[in-house]
Amino acid sequence: MGVLIYVGLVGAGLATAVTISFVLRRIKLI
């Protein structure tokens, strides 16, 4: 169970990082 929770947290962190970087790129383009 602990491993699944860890993987879920890592996946959520990566998704958040990708979303933030995508938003920052769009802000720079505007």
Per-residue model confidence (pLDDT) at position 25: 94
Does the pTM surpass 0.75? The reply is no
DSSP letter assigned to residue 3: H
DSSP letter assigned to residue 30: -
Using the predicted structure, report yes or no on whether residue 6 has a pLDDT greater than 90: yes
Distance CA 14, CA 9 (A): 9
DSSP letter assigned to residue 16: H
Distance CA 6, CA 24 (A): 27
- C-alpha 3, offset from chain centre: 19
Q: How confident is the model at residue 30 (pLDDT cuts 50, 70, 90)?
A: low
Over residues 3-21, mean pLDDT:
97
